[in-house]
């Protein structure tokens, strides 16, 4: 298995549920990212991890909680979400975080909050 | 106003046509990326460039740093080229990549 793998691909949850999105990369990269893509809006950076350390939290509400246990795995824990949080959540990885690094994206997890 | 503007927002073409998608940005950049997003959601990096021109198969990307403008061209377009094409720029060495809203391309047979 190669590349960046996200699970689940689709998730429907109620506002009181707790769920998690998982991302795994098999590229030997040391940086991982969560992005949010809402309908008809540009991608928004949520979190960045470099060597398992969070280096960026882009003013994301606390109902989104990231976890990076190692350089290959990244989670996004979700609790008490709002319907406006429904979006495509994309994970990406890169080799380092310098300016000209290339990002490799997963297929995304499409979240619907009822 | 978004720092990265793409045009057109939507584009429909007949198979075989030459396609141009434009991207203008308002910040200083270290690199510009062209990405392709298929209906399933996954994103693939097509090009990363900081000057000049790059070519890969039927795809060509150009950038004019002075004018802060980039174009993505597709020659001999095919229905399988139908996707959303996204322009993204990175400023300096930080983590912040700014994305355009995307251009939805539909190529009809």
Q: Is the pLDDT of residue B105 over 90?
A: yes
Shortest CA gap A15–chain B (Å): 24
Q: Report CA dihedral (B11, B12, B16, B21) to the nearest 10 degrees.
A: 0
Partner A contacted by B50 (CB < 8 A): yes
The answer to whether A55 contacts B95, with C-beta atoms less than 8 Å apart, is yes
Please give the average per-residue pLDDT across A58-72, as a whole number. 91
Nearest residue, CB atoms, A107 vs list B2, B30, B40: B40
Region of residue A6 (phi > 0: left; psi between -120 and 50: alpha; otherwise: beta): beta
Provide the pLDDT for residue A59. Answer: 83
Provide the pLDDT for residue B94. Answer: 60
Nearest residue, CB atoms, B30 vs list A37, A100, A105: A100
Q: Residue B9 phi/psi, 5° resolution?
A: -75, -40
Provide the pLDDT for residue A102. Answer: 84
For residue A8, cis peptide bond before it (omega within 30 degrees of 0): yes
Kindly tell me the burial class for residue A39, based on how many C-beta atoms sit within 10 Å of its own C-beta (0-12, 13-18, 19 or more): exposed
- Measured over the CA atoms of residue A25, residue A89, residue A55 and residue B94, the dihedral's sign is positive
Give tens-digit pLDDT for A10-45.
999 988 889 999 999 999 999 999 999 998 889 999
Partner A contacted by B25 (CB < 8 A): no
The answer to whether A99 contacts B48, with C-beta atoms less than 8 Å apart, is no
Q: Is the pLDDT of residue A51 over 90?
A: no
Please give the average per-residue pLDDT across B11-20, as a whole number. 97
Quick one: which of A37, A43, A20 has its CA closest to A85?
Answer: A37
Q: Is the pLDDT of residue A57 over 90?
A: no
In 3-state terms, what secondary structure has residue A86? coil
Please give the average per-residue pLDDT across A50-78, as a whole number. 89
Report residue A72's pLDDT band, with 50, 70 and 90 as the boundaries. very high
Provide the pLDDT for residue B2. Answer: 80
Q: Give one DSSP letter per residue of A17-44, joined into a string.
A: -EEEEEEEE-S--SEEEEEEE-TTS--E
Provide the pLDDT for residue A16. Answer: 86
Q: What angle do CA B38, A4, A94 make, to 5 degrees?
A: 105
Q: Is the pLDDT of residue B107 over 90?
A: yes
8 Å CB contact between A113 and A47 = no
Give tens-digit pLDDT for B25-78.
998 888 899 999 988 788 999 999 999 999 999 999 999 999 999 999 999 999
8 Å CB contact between B30 and A99 = yes
Shortest CA gap B41–chain A (Å): 6
Report residue B1's pLDDT band, with 50, 70 and 90 as the boundaries. low
Q: What is the Cα–Cα distance from B23 to A114, expressed in whole angstroms?
A: 36
Whole-number mean pLDDT of chain A?
90
How many residue pairs from chains A and B have C-beta atoms closer than 8 A? 62
| Residues 6 or more apart whose Cβ sits within 8 Å of residue B19 | B11, B13, B73, B74, B77, B81, B105, B107
- A56 CB neighbours in chain B (<8 A) are 95-96
């Amino acid at each position: 298995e190669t590349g960046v793998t996200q699970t689940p691909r689709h998730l429907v949850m109620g506002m009181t549920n707790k769920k998690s999105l998982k991302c795994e990369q098999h590229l030997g990269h040391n940086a991982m990212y969560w992005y949010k893509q809402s309908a008809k809006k540009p991608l928004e950076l949520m979190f960045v991890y470099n060597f398992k350390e969070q280096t960026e939290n882009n003013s994301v509400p606390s109902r989104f909680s990231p976890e990076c246990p190692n350089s290959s795995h990244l989670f996004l824990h979700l609790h008490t979400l709002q319907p406006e949080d429904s979006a495509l959540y994309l994970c990406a990885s890169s080799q380092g975080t310098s300016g000209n690094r290339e990002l490799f994206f997963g297929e995304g997890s499409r979240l619907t909050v009822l | 106003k978004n720092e990265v503007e793409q045009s057109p927002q939507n584009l429909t073409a007949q198979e075989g046509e030459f396609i141009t998608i434009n991207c203008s940005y308002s910040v200083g950049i270290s690199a510009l990326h062209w990405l392709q997003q298929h209906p399933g959601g996954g994103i693939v990096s097509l090009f990363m460039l900081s000057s000049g021109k790059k070519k890969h198969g039927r795809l060509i990307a150009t950038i004019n740093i002075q004018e802060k403008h980039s174009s993505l061209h597709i020659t001999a377009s095919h229905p399988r080229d139908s996707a959303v094409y996204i322009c993204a720029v990175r400023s300096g060495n930080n983590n912040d990549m700014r994305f355009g809203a995307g251009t939805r391309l539909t190529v009809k047979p």
